[in-house]
Amino acid sequence: MSSPMTMNRVIHAAVRRDLTRLESALDASPDGDPARARQLEAAYANLYRELKHHHVGEDSHVFPFLASVEGASALVQVMEAEHEAMADALAEAGAAMTAYAATGSAMDAHAARDTMRRAHEVVERHLNHEERELEPLLLPHLETPEWKAVEKRLRPESLAASGRWMAWVQDGMPDEERAYYRSTIPAPVTFLLSRVAGRSYYRQVAPAWQGTA
């Protein structure tokens, strides 16, 4: 039996999608195109911001909640260590993207691709681990008032941030994740926030993915 869809998995799908897109785009980057390099750097910065917000929320709210769940304390310690490893890998990828944006060279693009690939491996191990072991511990608590309070604290801090998040997470969303998303967030809310408050995503980030896998 497949595991139930969660908003956590919706976010994970968006993270995986962007890392794959970045690897593909960097692999295909032409030599001497600094405008394209800056475009991809901005796309990575958006992914980094969304993933950092997600993990800060877990560190600040989800993991403390799990500390009260029987049998979860050892897993929380492992998850925190994985977050640290991810932060290091993503910082390395960010530095490689900055170097590429400064030159636009194919050599720096391929170096950034290799660094991105390593970061993707670190991130993927953590996402799989979280889905496989952490989510089953949370599932019995998802309808409790205590967890609902955690969910409120996990929301983006402003309407603009909410709009960017909605635009980002829906871009190329797989069917299963889209069905769950639509069952969770009312369509008028999604339209208003993503198309109005989140319009910067469509202007500044989405064009980077045109023609990528």
pLDDT digits over 155-192, tens only?
A: 888 999 999 999 999 999 999 999 999 999 999 999 99
pLDDT above 80 for 3 = no
CA 12 distance to own-chain centroid: 6
Return the minimum-mean-pLDDT range out of 38-42, 123-127, 129-133, 137-141: 137-141
Q: What is the mean pLDDT of residues 32-49?
A: 97
Which pair of tokens denotes residue 73? 């304390």
pLDDT above 80 for 213 = no
Identity of residue 96: A
The pLDDT score that the predictor gives to residue 123 is: 98
Mean pLDDT of the chain: 94
Per-residue model confidence as pLDDT tens digits over 62-105: 999 998 888 899 999 999 999 999 999 999 999 999 999 999 99
Fold of 7-156: Four Helix Bundle (Hemerythrin (Met), subunit A) (1.20.120)
Alpha-helix runs per DSSP H in the chain: 7-27, 34-57, 63-66, 73-103, 106-129, 135-138, 145-154, 159-170, 175-184, 187-192, 199-204
The pLDDT score that the predictor gives to residue 68 is: 85
Backbone angles phi, psi at 2, to 5 degrees: -75, 155
The pLDDT score that the predictor gives to residue 1 is: 41
Q: What percent of the chain has pLDDT over 70?
A: 99
Which pair of tokens denotes residue 187? 């369509």
